[in-house]
Amino acid sequence: MTRKRKELFAHKIESITEITPGYFTVNFTRKFDFTPGQVVALTLNKENDPRLYSIASSNKASYMRILFDVKPDGKLTPPLSQVEKGDTVYVSKPFGKFIPSQDKEWWIATGTGIAPFISMMESGSELPQKLLHGSRTIDNFLFQDDISNQLKSDYLRFCTKEKGEGIIEGRLSNWLKSQESLPQNTKFYLCGNPEMVVDVRDIILSKGVAFENIMAEIYF
């Protein structure tokens, strides 16, 4: 069975920034409307299979931003980290259903999985009751200053390799396990690596959260 590829449109790079070693944001001119939480398919060369990226910017901005880390053996991210202003990227129309609800929400992310939540916050979506963010190192809590300014004590950072002020040691999944109960009538949005998403899903299901209240975006 052949999978239909998404149509790709040429966009001009406006800027690229290495926000912390190995982690980049790329801004390109926005051509399409989107709902925060959606993704685009993106490539530098139409002959190569595109990769998916969550949009990490406001749906009102003139540009669209993505956030990525370089996979040293990856096909796209090493050359993508070398682009310059004025270069062309080929990008699909936005798509995806990882979008805000009308309910109370908890957001849970690891690493670059914070991207859709940045878009939600910058677009003016209802803020979550809590945002749990996991990272190996403190520098890799991407956008942590912006998030802290908005969410204050509802922003919980979990670090597995380093200690720091206001940082909770260990995995966010362990913290969830240790909670006596979790709020019901709340949607849980999970975004990041497959291990975290599967672990957290199982833990919160075991604490009585209904399956239909769990939204997952897996970066495989």
Ligand X SMILES: Cc1cc2nc3c(=O)[nH]c(=O)nc-3n(C[C@H](O)[C@H](O)[C@H](O)COP(=O)(O)OP(=O)(O)OC[C@H]3O[C@@H](n4cnc5c(N)ncnc54)[C@H](O)[C@@H]3O)c2cc1C
Question: What are the residues binding ligand X (CB under 6 A)?
Answer: 39, 51-54, 66-69, 71, 73-77, 112, 115, 217, 219-220
**Which of 155, 219 has the CB closer to ligand X?**
219
**Which of 21, 164 has the CB closer to ligand X?**
21
Max Cα–Cα distance, the chain, nearest Å: 53
> CB of residue 90 vs ligand X: minimum separation in angstroms?
14
**Which of 129, 131 has the CB closer to ligand X?**
131
Token pair of 13 as six digits: 């790079």
**Which of 18, 169 has the CB closer to ligand X?**
18
**Which of 68, 106 has the CB closer to ligand X?**
68
> Residue 85: what are its φ and ψ, rounded to 5°?
-50, 135
- Number of residues written out for the chain: 220
> CB of residue 183 vs ligand X: minimum separation in angstroms?
26
Instruction: Give me the residue whose beta carbon is nearest to ligand X.
Output: 74
- 39 closest CA partner among 28, 55, 18: 55
> CB of residue 131 vs ligand X: minimum separation in angstroms?
16
- CB neighbours (10 Å) of residue 144? 18
Residues 93 and 43: beta-carbon distance below 8 Å: no
Token pair of 109 as six digits: 């992310």
> CB of residue 181 vs ligand X: minimum separation in angstroms?
30
C-alpha span between 18 and 121 (Å, rounded):
21
C-alpha span between 76 and 71 (Å, rounded):
8
> CB of residue 113 vs ligand X: minimum separation in angstroms?
7
